Structure 1
Amino acid sequence: MSKVTIHMVSSLDGFIANEEGTIDWMRSTDSYEEGVALTEDYINEFLKSIDCYVMGSKTYEHAVELGWAYGDTPVVVLTNRDLKAFKESVEFYSGDPRNLASQLRSKFQNIWMVGGSETTKDFLKHKLVDEIVVTFMPILLGGGKLFFDYIGSEIKLHLKDTTAFNDGMVELTYQVLKV
């Protein structure tokens, strides 16, 4: 059975970009000796488990600018703008998120949404999400672009897992309860 997972890196106070819209604060210089080491092997093994990525257009533009981390894994970018594909594995979608989710679920097992509060909100609003993974950076930004900004309804979650990394990041994995 396929699964749609929202993943976001956030400041501890819930922001995905600072007031200037930048994300350069996402590199941790902290250390936590008891945490899991983020080795290249650990990261590569994890990335192999993802069959498809979904992101908003601003996240796509940041990813191209900062260095493409998605390899040749299929990427669907949600946009109404006329953007150019950075790679052959990138396609653009404009339309009902329910139709997109249905199409992706028929082709892929492990679908990861990796950016955009609007994209996240649309998928949550339509109950298309199975799991939420939030990786908190050891920083308080005090303002900026919120990850979960006014979703409009209560969504119950079940904590599935926690991971503390050796660079001070903490990852929480929640199952979205279908109530």
Structure 2
Amino acid sequence: MITGHVFIATSLDGFIARKNGTIDWLLSRDDPLEDHGYRDFIKDIDGLVIGRGSFETAAASEPWPYDRPVVVLSSTLASSPVPSHLTGRVRFVDMTPKATMETLAMEGWRRVYVDGGQIVQSFLREGLIADMVVTQVPVLIGEGRQLFGPVDSDISLTHLMTKTFPSGLVQSHYKIEG
């Protein structure tokens, strides 16, 4: 069975990016000597599903940050060619979250890293997220793109654990009840 998993950071006031999509406030906290659990998280992931905004942020960085296949859900990009340096690593699709997961399951994917605010929100609304690791960065940015948006009904979570890091980051792991 295929499952969706979230590993994401927010500012203390709940934003994943500034209004213009930049994450400079997060990157300034990146300490290559401090592992915040990403390596353990990603080792069992078959690939990523992200949105256009997350793709554009990642595509602007050198080198390409992902060593797994990436599916970009975007009606805007679906008819566009993938940049030549990402051929074989990235594909653009215009599908619903459910159709995307069904397609990936048929391809043999089991664990999918779901990333990006709107994508996470849509996968949550459709009940396609098994768990979330949310890391709070001790910074207030005042406004930006929220991780969570409106939901049709409550989404119950079970707290699994919380860790703190010397950098001041606080990371909580939640199971989605379904």
Measured against the shorter chain, the TM-score band is: 0.7 to 0.9
**In structure 2, what residue type is equivalent to 1:66?**
S
- Is contact 2:21–2:53 with CA below 8 Å preserved after alignment? no
> What is the CA–CA distance in structure 1 between the aligned matches of 2:40 and 2:30, rounded to whole Å?
24
Match of 2:69 among 74, 77, 84: 74
> What are structure 1's unaligned runs of at least 5 residues?
none
Residue in 1 aligned with 2:110? Answer: 109
**In structure 1, what residue type is equivalent to 2:124?**
L
**In structure 2, what residue type is equivalent to 1:169?**
L
Secondary structure of 2:35 counterpart: coil
Once the two structures are TM-superposed, the CA of residue 45 in structure 1 deviates from its matched residue by: 4.8
Change (3 A) 1:43 1:20: closer
TM-score, normalised via structure 1 length: 0.83
Residue in 1 aligned with 2:164? Answer: 164
- Is contact 1:3–1:110 with CA below 8 Å preserved after alignment? yes
**In structure 2, what residue type is equivalent to 1:59?**
S
> What are structure 2's unaligned runs of at least 5 residues?
none
Change (3 A) 1:47 1:129: closer
- Is contact 2:6–2:113 with CA below 8 Å preserved after alignment? yes
Change (3 A) 1:119 1:30: closer
- Percentage of matched positions with identical amino acids: 32
TM-score, normalised via structure 2 length: 0.84
**In structure 2, what residue type is equivalent to 1:62?**
T
Once the two structures are TM-superposed, the CA of residue 29 in structure 1 deviates from its matched residue by: 4.6
> What is the CA–CA distance in structure 2 between the aligned matches of 1:43 and 1:131, rounded to whole Å?
14
Residue in 1 aligned with 2:42? Answer: 47
- Is contact 1:8–1:134 with CA below 8 Å preserved after alignment? yes
Once the two structures are TM-superposed, the CA of residue 163 in structure 1 deviates from its matched residue by: 2.4
- Is contact 2:3–2:128 with CA below 8 Å preserved after alignment? no
Secondary structure of 2:53 counterpart: helix
Change (3 A) 1:74 1:129: same
Change (3 A) 1:95 1:155: same
Residue in 2 aligned with 1:85? Answer: 82
**In structure 1, what residue type is equivalent to 2:154?**
E
Residue in 1 aligned with 2:35? Answer: 38
Number of residue pairs the alignment of both structures matches: 170
Once the two structures are TM-superposed, the CA of residue 101 in structure 1 deviates from its matched residue by: 1.3
Once the two structures are TM-superposed, the CA of residue 75 in structure 1 deviates from its matched residue by: 0.6
Residue in 1 aligned with 2:121? Answer: 121
Deviations 1:44-90 (A, max 9, x none): 4543222110100110010011232112x111100011344242121
> What is the CA–CA distance in structure 2 between the aligned matches of 1:17 and 1:51, rounded to whole Å?
25
